[in-house]
């Protein structure tokens, strides 16, 4: 991939938790990183440190905050409530298999969660984050959770929030949003990188 002079937004999903490992939906529950998750977050530090970021934004969840800290960005962290994970409501802590047993055909991005958020509600938050990103107009790094980052990426490239269903994210993964020829062409420059070469992630 060719280098770019345009701003880039690095997205980091938090490290592994017991619930991400078991497949339980983790929205507003404050589940800590596992030792494996902590090690993966620390492993991000030397690579991410090669970048220069105008701001560091994090979800308020401890799993995102801890990942941010262990990756070396805690000192400059700003908590952004709009980066909080999808509110799963009645489906909090439940696996997709368990939900489908009661509600065959259910899809999170299409159907949302009773007592929680639907895709449009998450998109409203993502759109506010994008507006702030574009106002800064510089390289940024964001730490958050899978589903909200998937919606954010979909909205970045002009897709409806349901398009986030097509963008899978692993724990402790790194993705990069940016532009192609100019600011009118937002693109995904990298997605779901879980292992990569030493050096800068600026593409």
Which residues are known to be catalytic?
Answer: 14, 85
Cα 74 to Cα 133: distance, rounded to the nearest angstrom = 19
Token pair listed for 115? 């007592």
Residue the block writes with tokens 């960005």:
73
Cα 76 to Cα 172: distance, rounded to the nearest angstrom = 19
């Amino acid at each position: 991939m060719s280098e770019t002079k345009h701003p880039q937004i690095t997205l980091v999903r938090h490290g592994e938790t017991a619930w991400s490992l078991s497949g339980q939906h983790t929205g507003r529950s404050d589940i800590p990183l596992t030792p494996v998750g902590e090690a993966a977050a620390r492993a991000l530090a030397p690579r991410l440190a090669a970048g220069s970021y105008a701001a560091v934004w994090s979800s308020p969840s401890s799993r995102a905050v801890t990942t941010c800290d262990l990756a070396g960005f805690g000192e400059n962290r700003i908590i952004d409530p709009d980066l909080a994970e999808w509110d799963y409501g009645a489906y909090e802590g439940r696996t997709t298999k368990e939900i489908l047993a009661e509600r065959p055909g259910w899809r999170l991005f299409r159907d949302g969660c009773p007592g929680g958020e639907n895709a449009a509600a998450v998109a409203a938050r993502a759109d506010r984050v994008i507006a702030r990103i574009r106002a800064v107009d510089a390289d940024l790094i964001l730490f958050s959770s899978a589903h909200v980052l998937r919606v954010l990426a979909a909205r970045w490239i002009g897709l409806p929030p349901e398009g986030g269903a097509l963008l899978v994210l692993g724990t402790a993964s790194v993705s990069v949003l940016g532009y192609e020829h100019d600011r009118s062409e937002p693109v995904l420059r990298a997605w779901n990188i879980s292992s990569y070469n030493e050096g800068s992630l600026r593409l």
